[in-house]
Amino acid sequence: MRTISRLVAGVAVVGVLTACGTSGPAGGGSANGTGAIQVWALQDTSLNPIEKASVDRFSTGGAKATLQTFGNDPYKEKLRIAIGSPNAPDIFFNWGGGNLKEYVDAGRVADLTPLLEANPALKSAFIPSVLDGAKINGKYYGLPMRGVQPVVLFYNKKVFADAGAQPPKTWEDLLALVETFKGRGVTPLSLAGSQSWTELMYAEYLLDRIGGPEVFRAIRDGKPDAWKDPAVLAAMTSIRTLVDKGAFGTKFASVGYDVGGASTLLAQGKSAMHLMGSWEYVNQLGMSPKFVQAGDLGWTTFPTVPNGKGDPADVVGNASNFYSITTSSKSPKTAEEYVKTALTDPTYIDALVKAGDVPGVSGVETKLASADNAGYTQWIYKLTTAAPSFALSWDQDLPAAQATKMLTQLQKVFLGTQTPQGFVDVMSAG
């Protein structure tokens, strides 16, 4: 859900996504690397037409480019097979971080650092924390091509007003609100606990607030004993504090996100808060439009933690999606020209904003201000541009096997079948 969701003005995109573009291997390269290119992207009924229009505009300038799109899971498998073969695309969609690092380590992805250094205006066009989402070992391997997706704390304004309460700014505030709402028969925090990725957001923010972004970076980079950092144990202990105090109620393990369970609880006033990615706004627009239109949906940042090393302005989530160039491209100069010109093209940016995306580029405040849902999209933009660190979701930034084990152990912590120390021990065992 969160890898293909993004802000859409007015409606949630649901159902089967259809492909656009052409099929077949990339080709047409010339001796000087300026032949035709093929671009691969994830299917999205709202954004694919914008991406195809961008490719078509580029093709009118003499160079030739085509777009092919795939469903989420088929795309990952097809890319994994194709990227080391003659059928690899010239440009491919990805999530940055560990998702991209696997291909970088295998030598399949072109280093775009020289391109950015030779074109400083291009580099400065992107929000630094978003651009860093595809920065690996100090080098850039992708450029942002869709909107930003930070995780924020949504809340029901009416429920808060009825309780005479204010959104939490500190950890102590949050714990106090747990007691306040429990006393009123309201679940303090919606949680779709049947899906472990929803629980991961608490781990990500707590670790950042307690230990700073460096702790997870060390884990991601595979540094020895990184999981044993005291901040990891403290984060897991804080999660257990929330669970033990009843912050998520007693039935969270049976609540789902894809079916709208946690979101509906918030909209109906049965829960007070919901920690979720920015796509929650469009989900609420689609499922509970009266709730949003009445002005009852609020949003704020994750609380600070006492004596924490993390900057309160740090965010976690999906910085953006990225376009990267394969090292096997037969037309690398054409591919470079496309990512250099197309992703900051005003027509492309305008189309993203109109679709409800919050592009990871600088200077779009005026465009957002005149678009639908401006209050929310402007807030998301300011949150992102001010973030010293924008950490990618752990399950996208870690190798697949490690991410799976981490999610399994985390869910056990929430369920109480694993202790915080047990989580550390299992993850440290490799």
Q: For 233-251, write each residue's pLDDT tens digit.
A: 999 999 999 999 999 999 9
> What is the pLDDT, as a whole number, of residue 44?
86
Do 197 and 395 contact (CB within 8 A), yes or no?
Answer: yes
Query: How deeply is 340 buried, as exposed, middle or buried, from its count of CB atoms within 10 A (0-12, 13-18, 19+)?
Result: middle
Per the prediction, the chain carries an average pLDDT of: 90
Q: Which stretches of 246-298 are DSSP H helices?
A: 261-267, 280-287, 289-293
Q: Give mean pLDDT, residues 203-207.
A: 98
Cα distance between residue 123 and residue 362, in whole Å: 10
Tell me what pLDDT residue 396 has.
Answer: 87
**Mean pLDDT (whole number) for 29-43:** 80
| The pLDDT of residue 5 is above 50 | no
Q: According to the model, what pLDDT value does residue 30 have?
A: 55
- Closest of 379, 397, 11 to residue 216, by C-alpha: 397
Give the angle subtended at the CA of 195 by the CAs of 193 and 199, to the nearest 5°: 60
Which pLDDT value is given to residue 19? 34
Q: What is the CATH code of the structural domain delimited by 149-316+399-428? A: 3.40.190.10
Q: What is the pLDDT of residues 389-408, one digit of tens each?
A: 999 999 989 988 899 999 99
Is pLDDT at 260 greater than 90 in this prediction? no
pLDDT in tens, 327-341: 999 999 999 999 999
Reported confidence tier of residue 33, pLDDT bands at 50, 70, 90: low
Structure tokens at 300: 């704020």
Q: Give the pLDDT score at 259.
A: 76
pLDDT tier at 29, thresholds 50, 70, 90: low
Q: Give the residue range(s) of CATH 3.40.190.10 domains in the chain.
A: 37-146+319-391, 149-316+399-428
What pLDDT score was predicted for residue 21? 37
Give domain 37-146+319-391's CATH architecture: 3-Layer(aba) Sandwich (3.40)
Cβ-based neighbour number of residue 18 at 10 Å = 10
Q: Is the pTM of this model over 0.85?
A: no
For the residues 171-180, what does the mean pLDDT come to? 98
Residue type, 105: D
Average pLDDT over residues 272-279: 95
The residue-averaged pLDDT of 141-158 equals 96
